[in-house]
Structure 1
């Protein structure tokens, strides 16, 4: 992989002169990428209340204009200014980031302020900003991502504003979405409200749709940073790291561990199975596995525990694809691949979106809209195949 990366810049310089001589390929506008095909198919199968569950679809798009022919020539060349800043200008990085976040905090756009509230770890305290979340919600916002984040915050902090009435109102913003009921389960479990936990589990099981909105959350930040001139590739990496630091979902697991009554244990089994089956992120599936493992161990069913662990392990075992390492590198160079992955996260899930990236890369570079990107990809593939 190191060898591949070292060759990339040299290849790009050589390729630049070659692609200038190659005419751009005419693209059939009716062609649909593998990622988009899978997203549309998944939405038809598991749409729930589509109006409720696709709130973010207009958000989950690049804010940048399509490149001109000249810009496409140079696409996929490393953003040397961003890379240099990351290693050379270390002293000013935090200060500039704080200025960017402050501009989001002072913005009149709800999307900017929500991005600030969710990704404010660079400010003192290293936590998302609950005050902004409360303010946006109290101003009448119907944004389901905001509702989800607010419930999650109320689970993690002690705040008099976090009442059962507030949680019920937040749930109502996305009530057809099973994922928000998981947030509610965590909240009620943290507050030892057993009956509310059981009722929320029933609502989860009957919810027609499921969307954890993790991709949507990342895109809020990526778009907000792009509006301030931050490279999409750099801000995506930043967003993933920051969101991972605030993921939370252990209250349900701890609650289930403390249960002994048959009714509660059976509810926990259903909860764990649902999280494992419908979870769109690895952490949600892992928590589901933990809940199920606790249930099976309480029953003395060691075989079920072993089978569950193996099933989880197999589900995330990487599929061997010849272009996987090259595709991973191209995601750092080509923002189109990153945006495809981000757009597929919520509908397809973390695992399937990742698996589809190899097909997506083949599709994009066969089209050859961005000649430099296609050139780099093809050369790297030839190097990989020869190893």
Structure 2
């Protein structure tokens, strides 16, 4: 479920040049005036943890010197201010923001708009004041969807469930789900929860959107300020890496043409999810030996079919949730027939519980096998 998919997943720094410490210093100074203490308090967090406090002070001092030499900032009585030329350069860094930014808060909002590749409109600015709205735009940008407006938690959860289902199939199928005709809310959240690094189930659509956006952006807290800071940090350029000293080559034994240490380890094959036809054939083949009933009405517990698939095809890399989601899609498309149990007979309740798939107000327990 965590394999890469064909659909684009973007990083926040795409398309626009990354910002440097000097750029941020100029932006903060352009918001009125600033002291070095202001820069340390308000700008340094955007570059942490890439730069420590001491490293930021050195970078800021070097940036101030360069900006002053370029006649972009001026200093008087310990306060720094932007020149007319400096203001123009700062405004260019804030593209595509259309609203003038006279405060540091407005500048950070413009940087969020830049990071998320969205439009600078009153509606978007209002959305960015709520953690659910910011989280929605983070996910829409990350998964390559339009960020012209923020989707509702329910609509976005449905889209995330489809993305998770496509991941399970290796993006080899078209789900055919239309707006309003997808998975119900709870199984949709379960499926969308597979997009976490450690798959989990979240109780509500709003929490799902916020928690997943925070994980993607790199925020440990689920607050608006924490998510905003994580997104803004994605705009910053990393410090230059110091080259590592080259190690001298290991001498080869004179009596060994191919030392064991030089033998390439066997390559590990990445999981390769099946296409729909292959998946359906494997399900029927796995169901036939464990099916019960009389000719014409034979059926197998979904849980037993899952165990057989898991053991027979580990190369698919499927989780149980992914398997059940794919099975529901196979039933919806008419390639596999699922059926429900008569709960009055009271047999093997554990197998019934392990097998259940909730789909459109119906609970499926069995795969029907055609004789």
Q: TM-score, normalised by structure 1?
A: 0.25
Bigger helix fraction: 1
Higher RCO (CA < 8 A, seq sep 6+)? 1
The structure having more radius of gyration, on CA atoms, is 2
